[in-house]
Amino acid sequence: ELKQKQKNGIEHQLLKGKTLAMIFEKASTRTRISFEVGMFQLGGHGLFISSANSQMGRGEPIKDSARVMSRYCDGVMIRTFGQEIVDEFARYSSVPVINGLTDLYHPCQILADLQTVIEHKGGYQGLKFAWVGDGNNMANTWIEAAAILGFDLALACPQGYQPDHEVLQWAQAQGTGNIALTADPHEAVRGAHVVNTDVWASMGQEAEQKQREQAFQGYCVDDRLMALAHPESVVLHCLPAHRGEEISDSVIEGPRSVVWDEAENRLHIQKAIMATLM
């Protein structure tokens, strides 16, 4: 609804006079811009806070920062390392706290991805989703989503790079979606309607790049792998992408790629998240 309003120039200033603090302990293009622009379009203000230039970067406790910031702002978005940092911030904050990516999860991205799937496939029920590559924050959040919403998810991850064990166990115990883990990308992608991948080394893992390049050989979403997918499959990538590593240039630039719609939807879905929570 908010996407249609924005496209048609219909007023939707649902957060007039409100302020969102956006704390970044890691780099960002899409998350930072989409939250800041989204807040502006909703009539509010997004405040960019780099941890390096705030007292948080000098060791001011999370619980103190949370209590102070939530007295100034109407919502807080955090991108950081440990999930426990967001959890602690939320515990001490008196306003909603949005996870803008941690080492464990990336929920705003998966909501945008699902919106993109709904737009291109008409829904997500009855579809097979495939994840190829690192069992990282994106993979963990897909697992959560599959369990909550009840769709089939097949993940192909090399040994040693599997998704979070607790998240997987919890999800499989829900008995909703069929969530399968394999080391074979062919098995995961065969017949899939949605094929999704992400970088081999996430933010904070840069020193492992070379070692990971070895471990992930054979996990590139390329034309040969995509030949096994459903003929009308779509390809997702949260971006930034490393062409020639987790995805080939021909696939990301090809007809099945919906990555630009996916990136755009970060804006729309985040506006919906903020309007709902704030």
Q: Long-range contacts for 190-193 (Cβ within 8 Å, ≥24 apart)? A: 190/228, 190/229, 191/128, 191/228, 191/229, 191/230, 192/128, 192/129, 192/130, 192/154, 192/229, 192/230, 192/233, 193/121, 193/127, 193/128, 193/129, 193/229, 193/230, 193/232, 193/233, 193/234
202 makes contact, choosing from ligand CP, ligand NVA, none, with CB < 5 to 8 Å by partner type, with: ligand NVA
- Binding-site member from 14, 22, 24, 31 for ligand CP (CB under 6 A): 31
Q: Which of 41, 198, 212, 256 is catalytic?
A: 198
- Cα distance between residue 112 and residue 38, in whole Å: 14
Scanning 6-14, 27-35, 52-60, 157-165 for contacts with ligand CP by CB under 6 A, the matching segment is: 27-35
- Binding-site member from 19, 34, 137, 248 for ligand NVA (CB under 6 A): 137
Q: How many CB atoms lie within 10 A of CB 127?
A: 18
Using alpha carbons only, give the angle 164, 235, 161 rounded to the nearest 5 degrees: 25
- Binding-site member from 77, 95, 97, 199 for ligand NVA (CB under 6 A): 199
Indicate the SS3 state at residue 76. Answer: strand
Tell the smallest beta-carbon distance from residue 185 to ligand NVA (Å).
18
29 makes contact, choosing from ligand NVA, ligand CP, none, with CB < 5 to 8 Å by partner type, with: ligand CP
Close Cβ partners of 225 (under 8 Å, ≥ 6 residues apart): 132, 185, 186, 189, 195
Active site residue 79: yes
Using alpha carbons only, give the angle 46, 270, 278 rounded to the nearest 5 degrees: 65
Residues 226-255 that bind ligand CP (CB under 6 A): 238-239
Rule CB under 6 A: is residue 99 a binding residue for ligand NVA? no
198 makes contact, choosing from ligand CP, ligand NVA, none, with CB < 5 to 8 Å by partner type, with: ligand NVA
Rule CB under 6 A: is residue 30 a binding residue for ligand CP? yes
Active site residue 238: yes
Rule CB under 6 A: is residue 53 a binding residue for ligand CP? no
Q: What six digits make up the tokens of 240?
A: 């930034």
- Binding-site member from 108, 154, 171, 238 for ligand NVA (CB under 6 A): 238
- Binding-site member from 42, 56, 98, 138 for ligand NVA (CB under 6 A): 138
- Cα distance between residue 234 and residue 99, in whole Å: 26
- Cα distance between residue 11 and residue 29, in whole Å: 26
Nearer to ligand CP, 79 or 212 (CB): 79
Rule CB under 6 A: is residue 102 a binding residue for ligand CP? no
Residues marked active site are found at: 79, 106, 109, 198, 238, 266
Given the rule CB under 6 A, which residues bind ligand CP?
28-31, 101, 109, 238-239
